[in-house]
Amino acid sequence: MYNAHLTPSFAPIMTDQELIERCLKGEPRAQKALFDKFSGKMMSVCMRYADSRQKAEDILQDGFVKVFVNLAKFKGEGSFEGWIRRTMVNTALDWIRKTKNLRLDTDISEAEYLAGESEQIVGKLRVEALMSIINEMPTGYRTVFNMYAIEGFSHKEIANELGVTESTSKTQYRKARTHLMKIIVERENI
Amino acid sequence: MAEKQNIEQQIREAFQGHEMDVSSSVWAGIETQLGATTSVASAGSAFLSKAVAVLAAASVITAATISEIQHMETSAPEAEGIEVSHESGATDAVDVATAAPEQPVTTETSSGESAPEEQHSNLNASQPENQQAELAETAMEEPHNVVHNIDIQPEDEMPTVATEDMAQHTSSEEEAPSKGNDETNSETDVTADELAEDNSDDESDTPIQTDEPKSIAKFHQKRMQNVTPDGNGINDYLVIDGENVGEFFLQIARRNGQVVFQSDNPNVRWAGTDMSGNALETGTYFAFITASSTDGVPFNNGRGQKITINLVR
């Protein structure tokens, strides 16, 4: 979580609290240090929600601007990284809502997949492979899957965020999961 | 056993701490946008800087408190907190597993003994008040109705799964770091009537059958957990660590039974907030897990599991 070697541009390791204080004073070096500390992880978050690298970087950029602008609103409840992450996710959701390509009723043609089979294969999955599978999902599946499986939103929260019903969220999630498992089984050795 | 871990958890673990390269144009874009924002803001800068000064003063105080607690919590340096805790998490799990069969009453005793050096360490500063408050509350609300209804003891499961599983799943993030606090807590926080419940319930449960053809939902939760949402990366959330979980329902209630949070998502992280995200006050809360396995077998014969949570802010 606090990887010293990942913040080379600001050699002495600053705690999040120090970073925040110095950013609030408007120190450009601190802002850059904060960006360097979290941008790699947040790029991973944005990439999960985006359909392209370019889009992910757009979201990342907007998200970090929000982080700096709203920094004073961070009250120290929960971790700072968690707060930044939520800002990124919200920015991603804004983009998804705005582009209106959230076709939650999209149906991926599904081959039968035997539930419970081959779940262990995921153990061999590399994160890059997972990322590419998630990126290839239709936006609706991808969004619900990210929110539920990785960010830990409840279906109720997802329904609120995306303006769909709770049962739509559940159905979408189940389909997304099945879709994912099917691809994992197909690719088996990725 | 690792292969039975649910897919969501594996995916989360795969993404945990994952980083990607970011092209330099992103920072350039941010700088440009920030430049624009600050010049607009500087119109009211006198007012702003006052606000900032106040905020900074407030945050210095917070920082002081937080860092004090941090130092007490972990002897390990911040940078290595996670890894170090994983190790201790793994060994602790083994301790529990070996100790429990002989003395069934025990998550707290065995883990307490296994790490005596930690007992004096954390949160002592804030603990006494909480405890007094809790005792006072306990006195006032003697019958823990909700608790009794759903209460069960998870110890019986721990030994069967702990050795192989917990040692392997070192990357399950918040589980391991929670150890340090749990140990102290369980020493200080168990009230008399809870201990009584422990004893009475222990004989009743049957051991898990390992060759069961249907999958069985399991949760590797500590019976008592600290949640300290102070952002130091340790115990910031309650994390559910389950395997083979199909249907899932989590409720978190105050001591008086008032439900403050619920979720149907086994990947939920609870950071001491109510359903609207408002911070809840320091105190003892109970989490009730009800679940069924991926094959639809009710978890713990439908009795669920209770976790006592010490929320400390």
Q: Using one digit for the tens of pLDDT, what is the confidence trace for B200-249?
A: 444 444 445 555 578 888 888 888 888 888 877 788 888 888 888 888 88
Mean pLDDT, residues A33-62 taken together: 93
Is residue B198 scored above 60 in pLDDT?
no
Chain B residue with Cα closest to A64: B30
Regarding whether A94 and A34 lie in a shared domain, the answer is: yes
pLDDT at B219 (0 to 100): 87
Which of A74, A133, A154 to substitute to test the interface with B, most B CBs within 10 Å? A154
CA distance B156 to A81: 36
CB within 8 Å: A177 and B62: no
Nearest to B228 by CA among B175, B171, B172, B178: B178
Number of separate domains in chain B: 1
Q: Is residue B43 part of a domain?
A: no
> At which residue do the structure tokens 């990357």 appear?
B171
Contact between A48 and B15 (Cβ < 8 Å):
yes
Q: Where are the alpha helices (DSSP H) in chain A?
A: 16-24, 28-49, 53-69, 80-99, 127-136, 139-145, 155-162, 166-187
Q: Is residue A160 part of a domain?
A: yes
Q: Rounded to 10 degrees, what is the CA torsion of B26, B28, B33, B38?
A: 130
* A67-116 residue pLDDT tens: 999 999 998 888 899 999 999 999 999 988 887 555 554 444 443 444 44
Chain A residue with Cα closest to B265: A154
CB within 8 Å: B215 and A65: no
Is residue B131 scored above 90 in pLDDT?
no
Chain B residue with Cα closest to A121: B3
Q: Rounded to 10 degrees, what is the CA torsion of B20, B24, B27, B33?
A: -130
CB within 8 Å: B30 and A26: no
* B84-128 residue pLDDT tens: 334 443 334 334 333 334 444 433 434 434 444 444 444 444 444
Q: Is residue B219 part of a domain?
A: yes
Cα of B143 to nearest chain A Cα, Å:
31
Number of separate domains in chain A: 2
For residue A11, the chain B residues in CB contact (below 8 A) are: none
CA distance B106 to A137: 47
CA distance B1 to B13: 16
Regarding whether A45 and A125 lie in a shared domain, the answer is: no
User: Shortest CB distance from B22 goes to which of A40, A126, A149?
Assistant: A40
Regarding whether A142 and A77 lie in a shared domain, the answer is: no
User: Shortest CB distance from A122 goes to which of B10, B215, B267?
Assistant: B10
What interface predicted TM-score (ipTM) does this complex get?
Answer: 0.77
Regarding whether A135 and A166 lie in a shared domain, the answer is: yes
* Predicted confidence band of residue B5 (pLDDT cuts 50, 70, 90): low
Nearest to B258 by CA among B242, B280, B230: B280
Regarding whether A149 and A67 lie in a shared domain, the answer is: no
User: Shortest CB distance from B26 goes to which of A21, A57, A127?
Assistant: A57
Chosen domain end from A71, A99, A127? A99
pLDDT at B86 (0 to 100): 40
Regarding whether A154 and A68 lie in a shared domain, the answer is: no
Token pair for A6: 């990942």
pLDDT at B184 (0 to 100): 40
Regarding whether A87 and A12 lie in a shared domain, the answer is: yes
- CATH number for the domain harbouring residue A50: 1.10.1740.10
Which of B5, B6, B22 to substitute to test the interface with A, most A CBs within 10 Å? B22
CB within 8 Å: A32 and B27: yes
Q: Of the ranges A146-150, B24-28, B50-54, B161-165, which one carries the lowest mean pLDDT score?
A: B161-165
For residue A81, the chain B residues in CB contact (below 8 A) are: 233
Is residue A186 scored above 70 in pLDDT?
yes
Q: Is residue A109 part of a domain?
A: no
State which amino acid sits at residue A105.
D
Regarding whether A143 and A171 lie in a shared domain, the answer is: yes
Q: Is residue B59 part of a domain?
A: no
Regarding whether A134 and A75 lie in a shared domain, the answer is: no
User: Shortest CB distance from B3 goes to which of A18, A119, A152?
Assistant: A119
Chosen domain end from A51, A66, A99? A99
Domain that holds residue A163: 119-187
* Predicted confidence band of residue B69 (pLDDT cuts 50, 70, 90): very low
On the 0-12 / 13-18 / 19+ scale of CB atoms within 10 A, A166 is middle
CA distance B102 to A144: 46
Residue B131 CA: distances (Å) to CA of B104, B135, B286: 26, 6, 15
**What are the E-state strand segments in chain B?**
218-219, 224-227, 238-239, 242-243, 245-254, 259-263, 269-270, 283-293, 305-311
Q: Is residue B62 part of a domain?
A: no
CB within 8 Å: B56 and A116: no
Note if the pTM is more than 0.90.
no
- CATH number for the domain harbouring residue A156: 1.10.10.10
pLDDT at B243 (0 to 100): 84
Regarding whether A95 and A8 lie in a shared domain, the answer is: yes
Mean pLDDT, residues A38-49 taken together: 94
Domain that holds residue B94: 2-6+68-311
